Copies of this chain bind each other. A is one copy, B any other.
């Protein structure tokens, strides 16, 4: 049990370091050597825990399937109330590292043969469905402007991602949280 625990700890350390390195250089730009160094291992020592670079990325993704804009308080049919989402955006504004890892990977994932592509495709499918459910819980079948929750969900997701890029590039110029609240205002008042 102790050995297992130590192994798990090492694994977690490695995944954390991998997130950092990906934030700095993306997945393609990340090297096993850089990750290894950060946890005090040789590159070959690292490969004992994860057999290939791709396996390491997939482990990171599997581990972090509940990220920032992620699945939310999932399982619960309601999903993310918009108020909670706004808090999440505020929280994210305090941890640029995580946002940067996520955004760099999303950007890379649209290129060919990228190992994160399938992960993101599925994730967005799920997130859109979750968001639609949240909107339905909050607004019912139609939003104030007359749109269906399913039509607005992709916009909600797009706003979250798009604001992250603008904010990462120029944190002084973009207030992610304020902008998101503006978007919520745009959606209109939910029926009481």
Chain A positions within 8 Å of B, measured between CB atoms, are 23-26, 28-29, 100, 103-112, 117, 120-121, 124-125, 128, 145-147, 151-152, 154-155, 157-163, 165-166, 168-170, 173-174, 178-179, 182-183, 185-188
Contacts and interface: CB of A to CB of B under 8 A. Distances in A.
Q: When A and B form their complex, which 9 residue pairs have the shortest distance between CB atoms, in order from nearest?
A: A107-B107, A158-B162, A162-B162, A161-B162, A110-B168, A28-B29, A121-B169, A158-B163, A24-B112
A173 B128 CA distance: 10
Nearest to A160: B162
B170 A161 contact: no
B170 A155 contact: no
A154 B160 CA distance: 11
A157 B166 contact: yes
Contacts of A111: 23-26, 29, 100, 104
Nearest to A123: B169
A127 to B, nearest CB: 9
B110 A182 contact: no
Contact of A166 (B26, B29, B112, B124): B124
